[in-house]
Amino acid sequence: MDIEKPYLLFLGDVHDQLAAKTAQGVVDWRPEWCVGQMRLPGCKADTGLADLTLEQAKAKGARTMIVGVANAGGVLPPHWVKEIVAALNAGLDVATGLHKRLSSIPEIAEAAKKNGRKLHDVRFSDVAFATGKGNKRPGLRLLAVGTDCSVGKKYTALALDKEMRARGMKSDFRATGQTGVLISGRGVAIDAVVADFISGAAEWISPANDPDHWDVIEGQGSLFHPSFSGVTLGLLHGAQPDAFVVCHEPTRTTMRGVQHPLPSIQQVIDRTIVEGRLTNPAIQCVGIAINTEHLSEAVALKTLEETAKSHGLPCVDPIRTGVGPIVDALVQRFGA
**pTM listed for this prediction:** 0.85
The helix/strand count (H/E) of the chain reads as 11, 11
- Rounded to whole angstroms, the Cα distance separating 3 from 14 reads 24
Q: Residue 179: its pLDDT value, please?
A: 87
- Rounded to whole angstroms, the Cα distance separating 225 from 263 reads 9
Domains, the chain, with CATH or none? 7-121 (3.40.50.720), 140-334 (3.40.50.300)
* CB contact at 8 A, 287 and 326: yes
> Which tens digit of pLDDT belongs to each residue from 133-161?
999 999 999 999 999 999 999 999 999 99
Instruction: Tell which residue, 284, 231, 278, 233, has the closest CA to residue 133.
Output: 278
> Which tens digit of pLDDT belongs to each residue from 215-236?
999 999 999 999 999 999 999 9
* Band (265; pLDDT cuts 50, 70, 90): very high
> Which tens digit of pLDDT belongs to each residue from 104-125?
999 999 999 999 999 999 888 8
For residue 1, pLDDT beyond 80: no
Euclidean distance between the first and the last CA atom of the chain, given in angstroms as a whole number: 32
What Å distances lie between residue 138 and 28, 208, 241, CA to CA?
32, 5, 11
* Band (187; pLDDT cuts 50, 70, 90): confident
